[in-house]
């Protein structure tokens, strides 16, 4: 803990649950907070959750949350000494880091140069290979479909096309046959250009049955860096994470492999002069000879799934970010990092649970689960509006247990206690996964959803969930937006949120 506030005031250049998450730590440390908001978020919970709020502009992100000029102006007008970017939006834009420095404002994140290297997949692959970090065999800087065809011949099918400047699954294609490569290359290039303004592509050998395992790292500006164990993010849809857990349930994950991956992740961070919170992502391949892991990329920000690390390591990662940005040493060593129990996070989306299409609209009634081993990160309550302008994720539901079976059981209970009326959600999908045999056995890869198509059938809501929804609907129909016992009312955040990094064992 800090003996005195490192900053007097911090602006959060983001919205929704991540803004509230940062505000929570700031409030505990006596740091004043500034929210920013768009036209679409005037009534957002994150606006009410800060000490001050500044209107940025239109609902479109380009007119608000992506406007560097407006955010810097808001920080200056309110006297904020530092800016926390959250995740998404400007969080991995080196130009924003430079703009903060030019304005005399501290950016709570890594240096611009580290961000430039790790934010470009080609530069990152080259830097990691030079540092001795294992990378997936591949070819960088593909300029044409002919280059891609030649590269594929040397690597061998199947291959993975990736946008050099990309993320979130955009500009990414798996190609199994030579005759499909040209069309895939042209489609991926178009998608990357539209999403990132950069159509450069690279190719890697497609590891078809690998897990997505990532290592959380934290580094300061005094040469100290640690890894805070791993997260398994293999349950994905269209290359985007849906369920994350810590530690990995892979039968080939051992303390020795965890240490080896962690040491490689720290080596990767130090190779680019990294500081703050970052995540080094790996392909984790389970073979008869034992596991193999390859560097994928580094996310130079706080991850969406950071709660599972906080739950199993008993650390406040936002507090660590703030302290490091203020120039303080990390204050703990690798020997101080422990692993406690098991945590699982389910990302709840306002979406069609079969086709994964966004389902924005008003939330007529919201009831979130509560409990000492439950954490709800959300900015949605009864009466909230899920906007069509932003990502449809509405909450992150995280549970902790002394072991994985207990965590799974608690997650089932928490999901069944969650009620959201007025929008479609993927809650039924999560319940299907939690009841599925391979998931419970820990036997899955990034192809898990593709290999279990029954998970995407039209959802049949189980009896406990049906009763919960019926009770909530009756409550709502009676003219009351107050939550049933144990829930939260209009405008409230759940008590699980207030417990956020204070897990009761």
Residue 474 pLDDT = 54
The string of pLDDT tens digits covering residues 441-498 is 999 999 999 999 999 876 555 545 555 555 555 555 555 444 333 333 333 333 333 3
Q: Do 248 and 102 lie in a common domain?
A: no
Token readout for 77 is 């007008």
Residue carrying structure tokens 């390859």: 294
For residue 424, give the CATH number of its domain.
3.30.470.20
Asked, for residue 485, whether it belongs to a domain, the answer is no
Q: Which residue among 205, 235, 253 closes a domain?
A: 205
Q: Do 15 and 50 lie in a common domain?
A: yes
Q: Which residue among 205, 221, 253 closes a domain?
A: 205
Asked, for residue 474, whether it belongs to a domain, the answer is no
* CB distance 36 to 11 below 8 Å: yes
What span, in angstroms and rounded, lies between the C-alpha atoms of 121 and 356?
27
Q: Do 328 and 350 lie in a common domain?
A: yes
Average confidence (pLDDT) over 252-279: 97
pLDDT band at 25 (very low <50, low <70, confident <90, very high): very high
The string of pLDDT tens digits covering residues 326-373 is 999 999 999 999 999 999 999 999 998 777 789 999 999 999 999 999
The string of pLDDT tens digits covering residues 388-426 is 999 999 999 999 999 999 999 999 999 999 999 999 999
The string of pLDDT tens digits covering residues 183-236 is 999 999 999 998 888 999 999 998 888 999 999 999 999 999 999 999 999 999
For residue 25, give the CATH number of its domain.
3.40.50.20
Catalytic residue set: 301
What span, in angstroms and rounded, lies between the C-alpha atoms of 272 and 117?
7
Q: 222: how many CB neighbours lie within 10 A of its CB? A: 12
Q: Do 103 and 144 lie in a common domain?
A: no
Domain count, the chain: 3
Asked, for residue 124, whether it belongs to a domain, the answer is no
For residue 180, give the CATH number of its domain.
3.30.1490.20
Q: Do 301 and 410 lie in a common domain?
A: yes
Residue 268 pLDDT = 95
Residue 222 pLDDT = 97
Q: Which residue among 108, 129, 152 closes a domain?
A: 108
Asked, for residue 473, whether it belongs to a domain, the answer is no
Q: Do 295 and 322 lie in a common domain?
A: yes
Q: Do 276 and 406 lie in a common domain?
A: yes
Q: How far is CA 446 from CA 128, 164, 211, 266, 363, in A?
A: 23, 21, 6, 24, 32
Q: What is the chain's mean pLDDT, rounded?
A: 90
Q: Do 92 and 144 lie in a common domain?
A: no
Average confidence (pLDDT) over 286-311: 95
- Supply the range of the domain harboring residue 48: 9-108
End-to-end CA distance of the chain, in Å?
21
Asked, for residue 400, whether it belongs to a domain, the answer is yes
């Amino acid at each position: 803990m800090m003996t005195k506030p490192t900053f007097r005031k911090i602006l959060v250049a983001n919205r929704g649950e991540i803004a509230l998450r940062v505000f929570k730590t700031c409030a505990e440390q006596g740091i004043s907070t500034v929210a920013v908001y768009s036209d679409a978020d005037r009534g957002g919970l994150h606006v009410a959750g800060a000490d001050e709020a500044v209107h940025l502009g239109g609902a479109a992100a380009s007119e608000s949350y992506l406007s560097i000029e407006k955010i810097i102006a808001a920080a200056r007008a309110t006297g904020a000494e530092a800016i926390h970017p959250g995740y998404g939006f400007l969080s991995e834009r080196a130009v924003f880091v430079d703009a903060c420095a030019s304005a005399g404002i501290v950016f709570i994140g890594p240096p611009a140069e580290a961000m430039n290297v790790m934010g470009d997949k080609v530069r990152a692959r080259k830097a990691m290979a030079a540092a001795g970090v294992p990378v997936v065999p591949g070819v960088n800087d593909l300029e044409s479909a002919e280059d891609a065809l030649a590269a594929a011949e040397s690597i061998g099918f199947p291959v993975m096309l990736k946008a050099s400047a990309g993320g979130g699954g955009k500009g990414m294609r798996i190609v199994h046959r030579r005759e499909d490569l040209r069309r895939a290359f042209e489609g991926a290039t178009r998608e990357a250009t539209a999403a990132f303004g950069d159509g450069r592509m690279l190719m890697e050998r497609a590891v078809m049955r690998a897990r997505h395992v990532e290592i959380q790292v934290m580094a300061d500006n005094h040469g100290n860096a640690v890894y805070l164990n791993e997260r398994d993010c293999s349950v994905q849809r269209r290359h985007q994470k849906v369920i994350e857990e810590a530690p990995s349930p892979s039968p080939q994950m051992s303390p020795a492999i965890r240490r080896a991956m962690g040491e490689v992740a720290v080596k990767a961070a130090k190779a680019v002069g990294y500081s703050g919170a970052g995540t080094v992502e790996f392909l984790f391949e389970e073979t008869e000879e034992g596991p193999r892991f390859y560097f994928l990329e580094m996310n130079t920000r706080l991850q969406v799934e950071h709660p599972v690390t906080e739950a199993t390591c008993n650390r406040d990662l936002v507090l660590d970010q703030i302290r490091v940005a203020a120039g303080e040493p990390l204050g703990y060593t690798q020997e101080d990092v422990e692993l406690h129990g098991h945590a699982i996070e389910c990302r709840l989306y306002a979406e069609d649970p079969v086709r994964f299409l966004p389902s924005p609209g008003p939330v007529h009634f919201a009831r979130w689960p509560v409990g000492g081993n439950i954490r709800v990160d959300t900015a949605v309550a009864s009466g909230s509006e899920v906007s069509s302008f932003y990502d449809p994720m509405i909450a992150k539901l995280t549970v902790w247990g002394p072991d994985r079976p207990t965590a799974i059981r608690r997650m089932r209970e928490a999901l069944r206690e969650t009620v959201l009326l007025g929008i479609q959600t993927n809650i039924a999908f999560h319940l299907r996964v939690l009841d599925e045999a391979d998931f419970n056995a820990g036997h899955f890869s990034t192809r898990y959803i593709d290999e279990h198509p029954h998970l995407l059938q039209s959802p049949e809501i189980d009896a406990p969930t049906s009763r919960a929804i019926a009770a909530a609907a009756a409550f709502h129909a009676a003219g009351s937006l107050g939550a049933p016992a144990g829930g939260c009312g209009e405008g409230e955040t759940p008590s699980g949120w207030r417990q956020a990094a204070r897990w009761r064992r």
